A and B are shown apart, each in its own frame.
Chain A
Amino acid sequence: MNAAEQIGQEARRQSTESTGAEVLDVDRFEIFLADRKGEPTVPTFSRQTQIYADPAKIDDAIAFVRSSVLTHVAAHDGYRSLIGGVNRMTGRVFVTSNWESPGARAASDQALSSQRREAADIAGASSIRVDEWEVVFVEITPAGGGIELRGVGEQARSTPTT
């Protein structure tokens, strides 16, 4: 077990002991998309979509999210950020959009539902799970915030941000 996993295990133990919370799930993801408009703030309001993709179709789904979904999401009023992650072993994919208000999140939902459906179809996913969250804590270090990933494949660019 590497140092980060040891720290995570200890954090889970400490948190459950001090708050009485129950750990339901722990998973690991490769972050394939991290786009942000402006500096991170709290609170923001998230909509998280999860699917289980056909492993053979993951890259096609990622390409669609990076190109079409990002373009559509970022065009809506109140957009703050979009983050996508994939577990290539299980096919689990999440895409989380963040909004400046619950109203902005709600206003974008119907317009983006077709993008969710198309992404799921491309991924070969049979079902879609959508959850809504309030983001109450954000910390992005220079290592995490210094690279902004946008674009598709060879067109992807890394843009230093401040």
Chain B
Amino acid sequence: MYARVTLVKGDPADLDAAIANFGERVVPAASKASGYAGSFLLVNR
């Protein structure tokens, strides 16, 4: 398998919104790509 890892930094107060955005928009878009194998989201609160 092959992975793309993106590191982002934001305001901790916006973290829940960012998590929701990841699940509701980023993952559905990524999952449309051929060969998509999965997604993880790791956070430091």
Contact = CB atoms under 8 A, between A and B. Distances in A.
A97 to B, nearest CB: 12
B22 to A, nearest CB: 6
Interface in B11-27: 11, 14, 17-19, 21-23, 25-27
Given A26-B5, A31-B3, A134 B42 contact: yes
Contacts of A131: 44
A139 B4 contact: no
Interface string A9-38: 011101110111111111111110010000
Interface residues on A, range: 35 or more
Interface in A35-69: 46, 48
Contacts of A139: 27, 31, 38-40
B3 A21 contact: no
Contacts of B29: 7, 10-11, 14
A7 B30 contact: yes
A20 B14 CA distance: 8
Interface of B: 1-11, 14, 17-19, 21-23, 25-27, 29-45
Interface of A: 3-5, 7-8, 10-12, 14-16, 18-31, 34, 46, 48, 85, 94, 96, 131-141, 143-145, 147
